[in-house]
Structures are given as C-alpha cells and as structure tokens.
C-alpha cells in the first residue's frame, strides 16, 4: 500500500486556482470594494477625529475664560455700587443681586459656563442700576440740605417719581429701573445747577 504523506502544502492553493483581480467579473470587484468602503466608514464613525475633540476643548476653554472675565466685571460693578452706598440704602435689593451673583458662581464652578456668563452679565447691569439709584438718592439729599425750598420745584416731584419707579421696578424690569434711575439723576443734576433761592 502506498503511504500517504501529509504536508503543509496539501492545503495550499495550487498555482492558478484563483484568477487575478483583473480577470474577476466587474460585479465581483464592485461588491468587494463596497464591502471595504463600508467597513472603513463604520470604523471612522465610531472614533471621533482628534481635531474635533481638540476644537471642543478649545471652545470650552474659551467659555471658561469668558466666565472668569465677566465674574471680575461683576466684582468691579459691585464695588462701584458699594462706594455709592447702595448696600446701605437698598439692602434688600443689594442682597437679591448678591444672591444672583452667588448662583452664577456656582454655575461656573459646576462647568455651566454659558449660564454663568448670562448670570454675570445680568449682575453687572443690576449693580450698575443700584449705583445710579444710590447716586440719585445722595444728590437728592444734598439738594434738600442745601436749599429746602427746592422741594417746591415741580421737577423735584418728577425726579422723586422716577426714583420711586426705579426702585419699584428693580426686581422685575431692570431696563425700566435703569432708565428711571438715569432720569431721576438727570433731573437732580439740573436742579443742582439751577439758581438757588436767596
């Protein structure tokens, strides 16, 4: 009986068993290319490009820097309001703005930079309005102390109405409050420059 000899070449394809690619039917080549492209696209879709990750981190860093800048703006505005005496004249209003400031700082600390920035911008406006209200109050008191008869001037009453409107609208409509404070301050300044009673 003839012995059988097994070798690794037993399973090796014989030369010429597979036709060259250029001899395959076009439909087969197209199918293979389609499969390869699908595999490549699938792999790409599961791994975000490094540039996208870097862009996202850069955008987050920009928001963080902007939040810090606005936080410092709030501190400057608060200092101006305090120098005008707003914290003593309007303690409830001042406390409400400080609560907004604290909430915005909490948002920044938690990574909510966009919410923090919006809150800081609002606080800058509110502290600015408080400063103008305080300036108007201070000027009103100075005018009354220098010339009590100024209280009889119709403009005095108009300024007082604007001032009260500014205080009343502060918590609900900062724009109206700010405009009223500006108008009251402008009237008091005109009265300050007007001729005094002999």
Residue 117, classed as helix, strand or coil, is helix
pLDDT in tens, 154-189: 999 999 999 999 999 998 888 899 999 999 999 999
Say which residues have a Cβ less than 8 Å from residue 63's Cβ, sequence separation at least 6: 113, 114, 117
Phi, psi dihedrals of residue 170, rounded to the nearest 5°: -55, -50
Question: Cα separation of 74 and 107, whole Å?
Answer: 15
Alpha-carbon distance values, 104 to 8, 33, 43, 82, 140 (Å): 74, 55, 41, 20, 34
pLDDT digits (tens, 9 = 90+) for 76-125: 999 999 999 999 999 999 999 999 999 999 999 999 999 999 999 999 99
pLDDT tens, residue by residue, 30-84: 665 676 566 655 555 555 555 788 887 878 878 899 999 999 999 999 999 999 9
């Amino acid at each position: 009986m003839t012995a059988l000899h097994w070798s690794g070449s037993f399973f090796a394809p014989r030369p010429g068993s597979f036709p060259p690619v250029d001899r395959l039917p076009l439909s087969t080549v197209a199918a293979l290319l389609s499969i390869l492209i699908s595999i490549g696209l699938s792999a790409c879709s599961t791994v975000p490009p490094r540039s996208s990750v870097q862009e996202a981190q850069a955008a987050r860093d920009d928001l963080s820097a902007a939040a810090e800048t606005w936080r410092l703006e709030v501190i400057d505005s608060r200092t101006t309001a305090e120098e005008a005496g707003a914290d003593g004249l309007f303690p409830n209003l001042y406390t409400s703005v400080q609560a907004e400031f604290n909430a915005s700082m909490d948002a920044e600390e938690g990574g909510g930079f966009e919410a923090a920035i919006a809150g800081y911008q609002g606080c800058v406006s509110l502290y600015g309005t408080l400063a103008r209200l305080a300036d108007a109050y201070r000027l009103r008191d100075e005018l009354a102390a220098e010339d009590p008869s100024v209280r009889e001037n119709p403009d005095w009453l108009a300024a007082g109405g604007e001032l009260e409107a500014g205080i009343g609208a502060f918590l609900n409509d900062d724009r109206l409050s700010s405009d009223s404070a500006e108008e009251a301050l402008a009237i008091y300044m005109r009265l300050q420059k007007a001729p005094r009673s002999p």
